[in-house]
Amino acid sequence: MSNIIPASGYLELIRKNAGFRRLWVGNIISLFGDWFNTIALYALILQLTGSEFALGAVFITKIFPMAVASPLAGVLVDRFDRRKAMIVSDLLRAVIVLGFLLVDEPGEIYLIFVLIALQVIVASVFRPAQIATIPNIVERKDLVTANTIMSATWSIMMAVGAAIGGFVAEVFGLRAVFILDSLSYLVSAWFIYRIAVTSAAVFGPKPTLIRSAFSEIKEGWRFIQTHPAIRRMATVKAVWAIAGGGLVYMLVLVGDQMNPAHAAASIGSLYAARGLGTAIGPIAARKFVTDERSWATVVGVGIAFTGVGYILVGIVPWTWVVMLPVMLAHIAGGSNWVLSTVLLQQRSADKFRGRVFANEWLFVMTTETVSILVASLVLEMGLFSLRNTVLIFGIISTVSGLIWLMKAVPAEKEDYLQGNVPES
């Protein structure tokens, strides 16, 4: 296998590959609505409760149900039509998010958590289906380009959606945000409906009494465990999440303290900085790091420098200047995301790909849940100030990246030398 992946033009791929273009456009629209929804929910929960732990509970509810549902979601993605799975997921979420319109007083907060849980459980099918579909609609040489586009899109939509979502919430109210989010899912479903996925290997066996879903979950888990090169890349995002989950959660509280009178706009501005960073990171990695043998090193450095960025967040004044270290932290983190995703796509057999990415999401979501829970309890109990907690988690992130560099990078190099890196 060549170590240098040929560069593919962003616009060329979008223009010539109709299937990828439709998947991408649908993604743009639904992500735009998602970030509208996210900032509105954070502002709503702070408005109704003023509690750090309640905000942490929203984060956890957006994460943990997806972790629990991911193994079964992976089986569904490998067993059924991935395109139809994405469409059904979009349609169900279009209905679910309208339920947020019913919440307007503290006594109805429980409904927020129920609706978030339903939304993310349905989304647990969409994400692995989308990622597993990309290698079926683009050539192998275009995987880096395709994943960079999708990651940069997620980041740009975070930046734009968060910034505009905060503004729309301030000016038009939260109800308008939830309606727009619902409409975005419908448009996304329409674009995905028009995609033609051509791969004889996409679908696994249909359900039978002998081959149960549970056995397929175990089979996917065994596939990851018996391939160390896959296992490393399936857990790298979880290493970032050890501190990253708590740091992203605390970013909302930093925004709230920046300008309490206009919390939604301030939170939106910090998430916009985060989005710009995660957009720049993958683009820079694709341009300057073309030899995949060095990607494990880049991943470890990215985790460590995410921590450095947030250490700076804990030091600088919490005015608009804090947006710069937030952006720098996520430039580092963004490259981590794309490079590990591409390596997993390349190394995973098609029939296992949905389960591989679902299990990866299980690792990430579980780790993020613990990270956010710890951070929210520390703040709710008053053990440390918000600024000091940000500093502590930044240090933890830096140490996590350094440990990855010491442990995983030598193993990665050894696998390349011995030819133990599997290809799809």
Q: The CATH number of the domain where 242 resides is what? A: 1.20.1250.20
Residue 1 located in a structural domain: no
Beta bridge partners of 4: 291
Residue that the structure tokens 């799975």 belong to:
85
Residue 5 located in a structural domain: no
C-beta of residue 159 within 8 angstroms of C-beta of residue 30: no
Question: How buried is residue 317: exposed, middle or buried, by Cβ count under 10 Å (0-12/13-18/19+)?
Answer: exposed
Rg (CA), the chain: 20
Residue 201 pLDDT greater than 50, yes or no = no
pLDDT at 288: 82
**CB contact set of 37 (below 8 Å; sequence gap of 6+):** 97, 100, 165, 177, 178, 181
User: Which of 26-35, 83-92, 389-398, 407-416 is most confident?
Assistant: 389-398
- Measured from the Cβ of residue 151, the count of other Cβ atoms closer than 10 Å reads 24
- Domain total of the chain: 1
pLDDT at 424: 47
Which is more confidently placed, 366 or 154?
Answer: 366
**Residue 4 φ/ψ, nearest 5 degrees:** -100, 115
Interval 46-58 mean pLDDT: 77
Residue 66 located in a structural domain: yes
Residue 133 located in a structural domain: yes
Query: Closest Cα partner for 250 from 88, 66, 389?
Result: 389
Residue 55 located in a structural domain: yes
Residue 318 pLDDT greater than 60, yes or no = yes
- Measured from the Cβ of residue 143, the count of other Cβ atoms closer than 10 Å reads 21
Residue 34 located in a structural domain: yes
Tokens of residue 402, six digits: 């350094």
Length of the chain: 424
Residue 4 located in a structural domain: no
Quote the CA–CA distance of 393 and 378 in Å, as a whole number: 11
The amino acid occupying position 13 is L
Distance of CA 397 to the CA centre of its chain: 17
Quote the CA–CA distance of 354 and 214 in Å, as a whole number: 15
Question: How buried is residue 106: exposed, middle or buried, by Cβ count under 10 Å (0-12/13-18/19+)?
Answer: exposed
Quote the CA–CA distance of 297 and 339 in Å, as a whole number: 11
pLDDT at 312: 95
Q: What is the pLDDT of residues 332-357, one digit of tens each?
A: 887 878 888 888 888 877 777 777 87
Residue 399 pLDDT greater than 90, yes or no = yes
Domain that holds residue 107: 11-201+208-418
pLDDT at 26: 84
Residue 114 located in a structural domain: yes
Residue 190 pLDDT greater than 70, yes or no = yes
